[in-house]
Structure 1
Amino acid sequence: MFGIPTRGLIVIGVLVGAGVMYAANGGKPMGSADASTICRMTVTADVLNVRSGPADTQPIVSTMQRDAVTRAERKVENGYRMLDTGRWVNEEFVAPTSDSECKAT
Structure 2
Amino acid sequence: MALKLTGKRTVVTVALLAGVGVLYVQGKDEQHQKQGPASVDTTICRVASTEDGVRVRSAPAIDPANIVDELAQGEEADASNVIQNGFRKLSEGHWVSVDYIRPLAGRKC
TM range (shorter): 0.5 to 0.7
Q: CA RMSD in A?
A: 1.6
What TM-score do you get using the length of structure 2 for normalisation?
A: 0.60
TM superposition shift of 1:99: 2.4
Moved over 3 A (4+): none
Partners of 2:90 and 2:108 lie apart in 1 by 14
What is the aligned counterpart of 2:78 among 65, 68, 71? 71
Unaligned runs of 5+ in 2: 1-38
Larger helix proportion, structure 1 or 2?
A: 2
Unaligned runs of 5+ in 1: 1-31
User: What letter matches 1:55 in structure 2?
Assistant: A
TM superposition shift of 1:96: 0.3
Match of 2:57 in 1: 51
What TM-score do you get using the length of structure 1 for normalisation?
A: 0.63
